[in-house]
Amino acid sequence: MIQPRLLAGPPAAAGAETLSDHVARLGSLPGVERDLVRTITASGLLGRGGAAFPVGRKLHAVAARSLGDARLLVNGAEGEPLSAKDRALMASRPHLILDGALLAANAIGAREIVLYVGSAHREGQLALARAVSERRRLPLRVRLVSAPHAYVAGEESAAVHFINQGDARPTVTPPRPFERGIDDMPTLVQNVESLAYLALIARFGEDWYRQAGRGQTPGTALVTVSGAPNGGVREVEMGTRIGEIAQMSGLGPHDSDAVLLGGYFGRWTTRDLGWALPLDPVLLQSAGAPFGTGVLSFLGMGQCGVAATAAILDYMAAQSAAQCGPCVFGLRSIADTTRAVASEVATSSDLGRLERWAGQIDGRGACRHPDGAVGLLLSAMTAFAADFETHSRRSGCLANVARPSLEVAA
């Protein structure tokens, strides 16, 4: 197994690493490197906020437009309910994130850094605020903004919209933030894990970065595992198979039959198909599964996949920005009907209705929120086809337990 990189050093339970401990472990901030954008591009680092977009390309896009007045938005909103890796990193490695932010800000010619941290992530906010105050001299303005506790608040156009106008709803793009973002200036929006990694690559180089990774994507990644005895946040090598992660999280070979990959916007996959999949953004995408923010939520043997899906759809319906009819009414109908199936008060015609609605809603919102919910539902109807069938015939729940727990292990 590969050595941890992002989580190297004292255990996360020890709390935030102080500046002196951080410097003693990793040395001070590496000097201004002329070629940071090139180094990051060559490393192949992919963004860790969910879209897996190459970090180097984003850096370049902003640097090319900046006249020394760009902005950097450090994204620690982490609105995905099943993800805990960003808050864990902010709470334990604030100086690594700050190093990455300062290096990126320098590379793009930024005048200001905004630390955009979820209002629910108190420890992360405190750790970053303390870390900023520990730095004696900062070459530019750094401010902390508390992100609203909502699913979409971390989407990059929503984040910029909130900082500019106090409204954390996505906006119509273009322009994208790299063209016009905070204060209408070219803005780099980068996830906290991506920036922490940038700080390590700036120190150790792209070859070091590429030494890890078994598939298409180099490096290691933070993942959040739930539904397992040893769940929580861990660092794994890119390309590690889902089944291996199940095993290292304490799940026996028959302890789980399915896993939700990528979070609430993700896809269910069964053990037969899923355990052999490598956790690698590029390879997963070609298998029709999302890497997202590295969420793996295992469904225990006593848990019902239909009920778990109904609970997520309920949340997704409630999180609609309530701007578009197909999303407002469609997601509510889908959530209620899935709940009815789970509670065995639906009929087989309801299954047909769910499929028809799924086909109709997809692509008909201003943003991709409804598409995400529909994709999740369809993956559940495939992965749990037998369960949907027996529930709608009212012949009992295969899993025998009505309400699973989908809480994140802290």
Partner 1 sequence: MTPALEAAAKLVVDPIVCDGHGMCAEVLPELIELDDWGYPILVAPLVPAYLEPLAKRAAAACPVLALRLIPR
- Which residues here bind partner 1, judged by CB under 8 A? 323-327, 329-330, 333, 357, 360-361, 364-366
The backbone torsions φ and ψ at residue 230, rounded to the nearest 5 degrees and listed phi first, read -110, 55
Residue 352 tokens, joined: 């047909």
Q: Which residues contact 317 (CB under 8 A, 6 or more apart)?
A: 331, 332, 334, 335, 373
Q: Give 123 or 314: the residue with its C-beta nearer to partner 1.
A: 314
The strand order across the sheet containing 256-261 reads 232-237, 220-226, 295-300, 256-261, 267-270
The strand order across the sheet containing 141-147 reads 141-147, 110-118, 70-76, 187-191
Least Å distance, CB 186 to partner 1, is: 27
Q: Give 337 or 379: the residue with its C-beta nearer to partner 1.
A: 337
In this structure, are residues 145 and 104 in contact, taking their beta carbons and an 8 Å threshold?
no
Q: Give 134 or 336: the residue with its C-beta nearer to partner 1.
A: 336
Least Å distance, CB 356 to partner 1, is: 8
Q: Give 153 or 354: the residue with its C-beta nearer to partner 1.
A: 354
Least Å distance, CB 361 to partner 1, is: 8
Residue 132 tokens, joined: 């900023």
Q: What is the DSSP letter of 287?
A: T
Least Å distance, CB 336 to partner 1, is: 12
Q: Give 88 or 334: the residue with its C-beta nearer to partner 1.
A: 334
Q: Give 112 or 362: the residue with its C-beta nearer to partner 1.
A: 362
Within 10 angstroms of residue 5's Cβ, the number of other Cβ atoms is 21
Decide: helix, strand or coil at residue 108: helix
Least Å distance, CB 330 to partner 1, is: 7
Q: What is the DSSP letter of 217?
A: S
Least Å distance, CB 313 to partner 1, is: 16
